[in-house]
Amino acid sequence: MKTKDQVNRILEVSESPERIISLVPSITELLVDLEMDRAMLGRTRFCIHPAEKVKNIPVVGGVMGLNRHEIDKMQPDLIFASREENAQNEIMELANDYPVWVSDVHNLEEALAMIDSIGKICGKPERASQLTEKIREGFRQLDHIPPDIIRAAYLVWNNPLYTINANTFIHDMLKRCGIVNIFADKAVSYPVITEKELRERKPDFLFLPSEPYTFKEKDVRNFSRIVPKAEIKRVDGEYFTWYGSHLVDAPSYFKHLF
């Protein structure tokens, strides 16, 4: 059947894909929750959820640096990739030989559309619909939070300091929690900032996630000197970045955190 991915590419996909490789941690978890794990031939080493299910799925590299030889041996009939997370040259090379469905998620609505699309492709539309409705209901419980109550910065890397602008999934998660991203105006999705700039923007909160860079307690102490008036929180980065079925538990985490 013909289907369109999230970067508007039309591709021909088997009516019932049985040889799937996922190069995206969020999608790997989603596929397992769609009960497609038996069809999964490969994953990246960052595809870690749910652990008891994915441990038996062979690893074909990282989200970048794929083992093309192993992938070719598997002869997949469908590969899932991400515009943001995977290397474009690797994905385009794979797309010359295999159907590659590429996700491009910047907000909750695009994440829900991705879940529905993958559900249809895999012949699991009802299960996907159940997941999206459960996620929608969870986020509806956050609607009572007044907007713009907290000004915050969210860092994704250290040395140099990377943060996020308004075009990121993390920004959308913060916004749904009533939090203003003080670097939303930056021109690029993941801009580099200086300690001076962070200090001058005077955040009420500074969020230090567990991934992709794992901020530690020593980083909390360091940033407390840079922005002494900000409350610094170490947060579970997965709830701000994983956009598949991981979203089911995100609202309860946000309510507890904020």
**E-assigned strand segments in the chain:** 2-4, 10-12, 20-22, 40-42, 78-82, 100-103, 150-154, 161-162, 179-181, 192-193, 205-209, 231-235
Residue-range domains of the chain with CATH:
2-106 (3.40.50.1980), 150-257 (3.40.50.1980)
| Percent of the chain predicted with pLDDT > 70 | 98
The string of pLDDT tens digits covering residues 135-163 is 999 999 887 666 667 899 999 999 999 99
The string of pLDDT tens digits covering residues 200-244 is 999 999 999 999 999 999 999 999 999 999 999 999 999 999 999
The string of pLDDT tens digits covering residues 28-58 is 999 999 999 999 999 999 999 999 999 999 9
**Residue 231's pLDDT is what?**
96
Rounded Cα–Cα distance for residues 195 and 198 (Å): 5
Q: Among 144, 141, 135, 184, which residue's Cα sits nearest to residue 164?
A: 184
Is the pTM of the predicted complex or chain greater than 0.85? yes
3-class state of residue 120 by DSSP? helix
Q: 44, 59 in Cβ contact below 8 A?
A: yes
